Structure 1
Amino acid sequence: MSSPSSPRRAGRHASGGASAGRGPDGVDAGRSARRPAARQGRRRAAQNPRRSVVALSLCLAAGLGGGMAATMSTEPDASAAVVAGAVEDSLGVEAADAVRNAYEAARSGNRTSPPGQTLPSGAAAQADSASGTGAGVGAGGPGALPDTLASELPAPLTSASPDTAPEKSPPPSPSPSPSASPSPAPEPGSGLLGAKIAVKQQLSGELVVANGSRPAPADGADGKVWRVQIAVEKGLPVDPEAFAEAVLATLNDPRGWNAADGSTFAWTDTERYDARVVLASPGTTDELCLPLDTISELSCGIEETAVLNFKRWATGSQAWENTARYRQYLVNHEVGHVIGYRHDLCAGEGEHATVMVQQTTTTSGCIPEPWPVPDAG
């Protein structure tokens, strides 16, 4: 950026111009006196002083013109006027005219930029390589770097377009949290949970009522409808609703009590029930069956409640080869007591037992039978 003319800058040029034009009696004359070979020149200058003045003026004009050409981009007119005035005062009008002519010659050239600096060819190649405008790295030109060095240079940065948003890396996917092991599905026909069932002697005694309700089957309309509540002792590895489904499926089977006396069974989870089926631990079974003695091995049907011993429900009986059939017997036998049936005796060796024959520890020689009317349905 060019700055306006100032007295300080003009004074400096004036001082330099006056110093540069001290004439034949100044520094130039002293230098010539020390050189013996210049004596002949002094004699010629003494013989023709006007020619010497003109020659000196031309030299000064050439030097000052070059200087003005280098500085004319800032304050060319003021500098030329001051220098020409100083030369005219010291050397005369002709010398000042020579200075003005040199200024005009310099002014007719390029005023917008100072003379360029020419670099040696090697330096220019290095400058091009550094600035990225020449052959550069990887261009294969004379100034290219060796492949081993070029490969170690960092990759050039690329600027993103103003209209293009920089690509954002997608956020890392969260690591899946370890999920809890799924609960085991209840076994159909029993409601047991898990493959290995542990039988505990005594639990809390708190009963959990199975949620649900269902009317009695229509084909039992001619007989007694028993509203049955179903419960499981808390802490047993049993799904209460799955257990209830197993109980109702047994009670309303065509071979069940409906075929014997027309009884059918509705499911309720309220306290308005006619009969109740409870699955309990051996110790709780003993308590619920009092005053009957179940010795932690048996089940019972007392008053309106059929109490099923969980040990027998889970493990079956040695008198039965099929545990599922034993569970059907257990439900039908104990509910039979609730609806008014007493124990039967085995009719004889090899005979089919009736459902009211005690068949948990032994069948007394009879063939085990879980249904009140085996041939029905």
Structure 2
Amino acid sequence: MNPIINKKLFRVTTDNSPSSLYERHLSSLAIKPGHCNLISKTVKDTISITKSESPLKFKFKIEGTETEVEITLQSIENLDQHKLDMWTKAFRNAATKCHWTEETQLRVLDALISEPVRTYLEGKRTIDNKLDHLIHYQYPIFDAQKYQCKLKNLKQENYRTFDEFYSEIKTNAEMLANCKNLKPEKTEEIIIDTFMTGLSEKTLLKMQELNKSTVSEIMEIIRGSENIILANRATITVKDPIINENKSESGEYKSKWCKYHKRNTHDSSECVKLKKKQDERVANDRSTRTANEKITDTRKNMSIITQNYDNHPNIVGYIGNDPVQILLDTGADDNYISSALLDHLNLNSKPSEPKEIFFWKLRFRHN
């Protein structure tokens, strides 16, 4: 496999090289296969709460205006039917917009939950304790270690774009916050710390050169760089290296490549189509060689006649600058100009090597 690489811009490494588009750019690496038409992945979590038979609707006015807005909260009949973290966010948002007191929030919550859910929340007195306990049903406290390990192992170089990298950090940080009842400020701190520690050394050095230190500044710079890299992708003569997933027992990649089909699904030696083509070529070569041998044998007996003769075609030709008269045979293997014919015509023969004779701009080869 010999991928076409613009050597001034890129070099190809093993499959252990980073996936990050920006990291590969800093390391002068080619874009990985499948990344050529990359579209940044955007994770969009929608507040999707299963509809129940008895949702409650609340109205509030947007501050500073007379515009009235309606909020709908679905009731919880069963703990397993909802994304409880999203539901509690919707509840807290409604409480803030409608300026509910602690007592009002407790009454609204009680109106939205079924008896089994009330039993689950029994013993929790404040609205925050009740809502946090709902979240813990979906995110138990003992899951916190799992999300902490995930956050610790998140590295920029393993993600194609910074949007993907940042989104993964944010998702796991929010899950950790749900498990440990963390405040938004603490969750944001975890996101920033994980982001900065997950950056590669080359990216950190580059950001230091540019005097960029905040997450928003770094994201702005790198998003712009990624867009430029992808926009220029069409003008770069780079062919994605074909990575063969088949490994030998020693762990090295097999070098399978079919030069006929231009694929790595099989080797040239295994290609039936290529073998058939090669057999046909060999047969044609043998046939051509045999025909050439016969022609050579025939030419050895051909002659150029230089004397005048009567009652026969008198063809004038030239060998170099010398004019000659020529008697042509049919060219058949068993009908060349024989000595008997020359004796009958009272002509002399002059054996020679094959020469080119020109007749009215046409070229023939004769002896």
Do the two structures share a fold, i.e. TM-score over 0.5? Answer: no
| Structure ID, larger Rg | 1
Question: Normalised by the size of structure 1, how large is the TM-score?
Answer: 0.21
TM-score (normalised: structure 2): 0.21
Which of the two has greater helix per residue? 2
Greater RCO, CA 8 A, separation 6+: 2
